[in-house]
Amino acid sequence: MASAAVFAAVFVALYVAHSVGDHWVQTSHQAAHKGAAGWVGRLADVRHVATLTATKAVVLALVVWLLDLHLSALGLLLGFAVDAVTHWWADRRTTLARLARLLGQAEFYALGTPAHPAHPVTVAGTPAAHLGTGAYALDQSWHHAWLLVAALLITTV
């Protein structure tokens, strides 16, 4: 199979598994505590990344088996390692918030929260419900960028 097709299959598998693992497999406890200070947060994030990586491995293994793809063990190891480390880093929350500030994206990071200067409000002037935040959008785009790197490593090493 052409390398571009293998890359496409690997990326799609990782992308779908990421969405499932980040939203359906992650527990409420992991989501609520992975950004906490100290070991409580670090360990909650480790547990989240472990279940997320396992989800990606299962989905990718199924795709590899069904499509008869040939991938190297080193490529898989490197790709999953890069993905896991970068996911853990971003999900500690303060790290991604600092990066957003450094890159001039602090206001967008706060979008959809009461901290944003133009946050949505109800008629009564209280914070209104919304469909997402800038922090979430930056978090997911960070993960998607690293999924691309992981897929490239998995298919080219």
Rounded distance between C-alpha atoms, residue 78 and residue 45, angstroms: 20
pLDDT on residue 121: 72
pTM summary value: 0.88
pLDDT on residue 124: 84
Which residues, listed in sequence order, are joined to residue 127 by a DSSP beta bridge?
Answer: 121
Between 4 and 117, residue with greater pLDDT = 4
Rounded distance between C-alpha atoms, residue 76 and residue 155, angstroms: 8
Rounded distance between C-alpha atoms, residue 31 and residue 25, angstroms: 10
pLDDT on residue 61: 98
Q: Which of 138, 143, 121 is nearest to 21 (CA)?
A: 143
Rounded distance between C-alpha atoms, residue 139 and residue 151, angstroms: 18
3-state SS assignment for residue 127: strand
Rounded distance between C-alpha atoms, residue 37 and residue 35, angstroms: 7
Domain ranges of the chain: 3-89+134-156
DSSP classification of residue 69: -
Q: Are 111 and 120 in contact (CB under 8 A)?
A: no
Reported as a single tens digit per residue, the pLDDT across 58-103 is 999 999 999 999 999 999 999 999 999 999 999 999 999 999 999 9
10-19, 45-54, 123-132: which has the minimum mean pLDDT? 123-132
Question: Per-residue pLDDT for 110 more than 90?
Answer: no
Rounded to the nearest integer, the mean pLDDT of the chain is: 92
